[in-house]
Amino acid sequence: MSLSNQQTAVVTGASSGIGAATARALSKRGLTVHVLARRSGRLAEQTGCIPHVLDVRDTETLKSLLNSLNVDILINNAGVGRGYKSLAEAHSSDIDCTIETNVQAAVHAVHAVLPSMLKKGSGHIVNIGSMAGLYSLPSALYGASKAAIHLMSQDLRLELEGTGIRVTEICPGRVRTEFYDAAVDEPEEREKMKDSGIDELTGDDIAESIIYALDAPWRVNVNRIELQPTEQIYGGSQFTPRERP
C-alpha cells in the first residue's frame, strides 16, 4: 500500500538527523506525523508534525502512546552508539543504554503497533539498521545491536506472511549526523571519529530511500536497502602481524 493510502506515521528519534529528515519528508506527503524524541526544542522545529517528548527506553510511556494511535507507518529510527569505540572499554551504563535504545525499544515499538496493523490488514514497519549490523566492524556492541535489528526485520517478514504488513530495513553507512557527538565523550577522539575525510550521506539521502520503500506499490516489499557514501566500502580482509612468543 503506497503513501497515498496511508494516514498516520510515527518516527522515533526525530529531533535531528535521519529522523528529522524523514519526518519532514512524510509531512510534505500529507501524512499526520507523530515525532518522538527526548529534546522538546528540536521537535518543535518539525513543521506540520505532532511532537511527543519521551525517552523510548520508557517502555510503558512508549507503548501507551503507540497504542493510542492508529499507526499506518512506524519508522524505528531512535538509536545511540554508546560504547561504540570498544566493548572492552565500555561502561556497563553504555551497554545498557545502547541495547535498551537500539534493540529493546525497537522491539517494544513494533509490538505496540502490530495489533492495529493486523486488524486493518495493512501497515509498514521501517527499521533503521546499519551497515554495522551486516558487516564486521571494530564496534562489537553497536554492531550487535544493529545485527539484532537486521534479524528482527528478516524474521518479522516470515511471521507476518499473508497479513498485508510490509517490513523494510534501511542500512546506511556513514551519515552526517550528531551520532558521534552523543557516542563519544572525549573531545579529541570525538573529532577524530567525526572527520572521515569523505563526502558522507545526509539525513535527506536516507529519508529519500525510506520514501522510496514506503511509496512502492502494494505488491512490492522492499526488504532491505544498503546505502553508503561512494567513497566508503565494507568488507575485505586485514592482517596485523605481531611478534610471536
A 10 A CB-CB count for 148 gives 18
Residue type, 146: K
Per DSSP, the residues of 69-119 read S--SEEEE-----TT-S-TTT--HHHHHHHHIIIIIHHHHHHHHHHHHHHH
Is 84 tagged catalytic? no
Q: Are 176 and 203 in contact (CB under 8 A)?
A: yes
Backbone phi and psi for residue 135, each to the nearest 5 degrees, phi listed first: -125, 155
Provide CB contacts within 8 A for 213, sequence distance 6+.
124, 126, 168, 170, 222, 225
Give CA–CA dist 68/57, Å, rounded.
Answer: 18
* Alpha helices per DSSP H over the chain: 17-28, 40-43, 59-68, 92-99, 105-120, 140-159, 179-183, 187-194, 203-214
For strand 8-12 and strand 123-128, is the pairing parallel, antiparallel, or unpaired? unpaired
The residue annotated as part of the active site, out of 135, 142, 180, 234, is 142
Cβ atoms of 22 and 9 within 8 Å: the answer is: no
Residues with catalytic function = 142
